[in-house]
Amino acid sequence: MSKKNSASNDRASRRKVLRLAGGGLTLAVLGAGSTGCRENDGGDGGALGGAAPSKEATATPGDGQPPKPLWTKSTSAETYGDNDELVAAGGMVIASGNPLAALDAATGEEQWSLRDGAVPGAPLLLGNGTLYLASGEYDGTVAGYEPATGKETWRSHLGKEYRQPSPVAVDGKQVYVIAEILEDDGSSHTNVIAALNSGTGKLVWKEQRDLGTEENGVHAAVRDRYLVYTDFKKNLTVRDTATGKQIWTRKTAKTSYGVFAVHQDLVIVPQGQKLQAFHLSDGAEKWALQAEDFDTFREPAVLEDVLYVADSGRTLWAVEPQTGRTIWQSKDLADANAYAPRQFVKVGSTLYGATELDDRGGIHAFDAGTGALRWTFNDKSGDYHAWLVATDGTHVFALHGKKLHALSA
C-alpha cells in the first residue's frame, strides 16, 4: 500500500454543497478557502506541523484553558462535515481522504495507507471490528479492512447492473448498502437498498427505493430488527433487517442533514423547532420537545443513555431519551458568544462537542453533569471546513480541514 499522496478526486459532492450552504458560507468565502487555508505556526491553538510535544504541551491546562495538542499532523483528509468521516479504532485514527491513512493514536505516525480506499463524502463505517468502505476506484466494490493493519478481510460486489454501492449501516450479521440502478444508456434514476452477509459478502436481499429518492445524504442505523435511515428528500424510513420490507416511512421537516439518534425502541429526529421521538415499530410519536421561539434543534446524540442536543439559540440540552424529560439546560454557549456544537463524544465526565463554523467554535468541552462550558480548543487556522471529533477513550481527536489534532481526554 502506498504512502504517497495522490490528486483528490474531483467528483462533485452534493453533500459538500448542502453542508456549506447550511453554514451560511458565500461563494466568495468558498473560493477563498479553496485557494489555500492559512496555517498557524504556533499560537494559542497549540503547535502545528507534527512536531513532538513539549513538556509544556502535555501539561494540564489552567481553568478555562484548552489543552495543548499531544500531536498535530497534516492529513489527506477530504471531508464534507459528516460525523462519520473521522473514526478511531484498533489504536488508529482515520480520516476520510485519498490516500486513506491510518495514524497511530498515541504518536500520530502513519501506520498504513490505502490509495483509492474511500469515496469522498462516503461514511467510514465501523462494525464487527471491521472498517467498511465503498471503493474509491468506483468499481462497484464494497470492502472491509482491519483498522489496526489496513489488511483487507472482506469484499463484496453487488453486481454490474448497480453503480457506486455505499455502505450505510452494519450489525452483527449484515452490511447495508445503497446503490444506483444502471439504465441501458448508463444513466440512473433509481436506487436500491440491499443487505450483504458480513461473513460471506453474498447478497441477502435488495429492495428498490421509491422514484425520486437519492443515494446521497443517507444516514442510517440498525437497532434489533429495524434498519432506520433518512435522506436528502426528507424521508424517515424503517425497514425489516431480515427481509428488507418497508415497515413505515414518513416525511420530516428540516432534519439537520438527516442526522438522528436511536435509543432502545425509539428514533429521535430534530425537526426545526421540535425534537421528536418515534417508535421504531410503527412510527407513532412517543414524545416531543419544543425549542424557544425562532430556535431550531441541531444534530442529537445519545451517549451512555443520555441524549445531548444543542439548538440555534446556543442552549445545550441533556434529555432522558425514553421520556423526553429535560435533565438540564446550559446557557454557557450563549453567555460566551460561542457557536453551538453539532457532533458529540463523551469521555468520563466530559462531553466534547464539535462546531461547524470556526471563529467562535472548534471543540467545546462541557461538564457532562451540568453542561458547564470548561474550555474551547481552536487551531486558529481559519479553515472553512466543519470540525469533526472522535475518541478512543484516551484521546480526543479533532479534525479541521486537513489538520488533525490529538488532545488528552
- Structure-model confidence comparison of residues 397 and 50, the more confident one: 397
Amino acid 257: pLDDT: 62
Alpha carbons 314 and 366: distance in angstroms, whole number: 13
Arithmetic mean of pLDDT, 339-354: 97
**Of 36-45, 367-376, 384-393, where does mean pLDDT reach its minimum?**
36-45
Characterize the bridge pairing of strands 326-330 and 341-347: unpaired
Handedness of CA 372, 394, 388, 289 (dihedral sign): negative
Query: Does 28 score more than 50 pLDDT?
Result: no
Amino acid 254: pLDDT: 65
Arithmetic mean of pLDDT, 67-73: 97
Amino acid 255: pLDDT: 54
Arithmetic mean of pLDDT, 8-13: 36
Amino acid 186: pLDDT: 63
Query: Does 9 score more than 50 pLDDT?
Result: no
Residue 223's beta-bridge partner residues?
226
Can you tell me which residue has the cell 435522506?
A: 231
Handedness of CA 301, 168, 230, 402 (dihedral sign): positive
Query: Does 128 score more than 60 pLDDT?
Result: yes
Arithmetic mean of pLDDT, 231-235: 84
**Of 94-108, 156-170, 250-264, where does mean pLDDT reach its minimum?**
250-264
Query: Does 59 score more than 90 pLDDT?
Result: no
Query: Does 13 score more than 60 pLDDT?
Result: no
Amino acid 18: pLDDT: 36
Arithmetic mean of pLDDT, 265-275: 95
Query: Does 368 score more than 50 pLDDT?
Result: yes
Amino acid 214: pLDDT: 67
Reported as a single tens digit per residue, the pLDDT across 316-337 is 999 999 999 999 999 999 999 9
Query: Does 54 score more than 50 pLDDT?
Result: no
Amino acid 371: pLDDT: 98
Amino acid 51: pLDDT: 37
The DSSP secondary structure of 172-228, one letter per residue, reads SSEEEEEEEEPPTTS--SEEEEEEEETTT--EEEEEEPPTT--STT-EEEEETTEEE
Average pLDDT, rounded, for the chain: 83
The model carries a pTM of 0.83
**Percent of the chain surpassing pLDDT 70:** 81
**Residue 19 banded pLDDT, cuts 50, 70, 90:** very low
Amino acid (one-letter) located at 66: P
**Residue 217 banded pLDDT, cuts 50, 70, 90:** confident
Instruction: Choose among 391, 311, 316: nearest CA to 346.
Output: 391
In the chain, the N- to C-terminal Cα span, in Å, equals 31
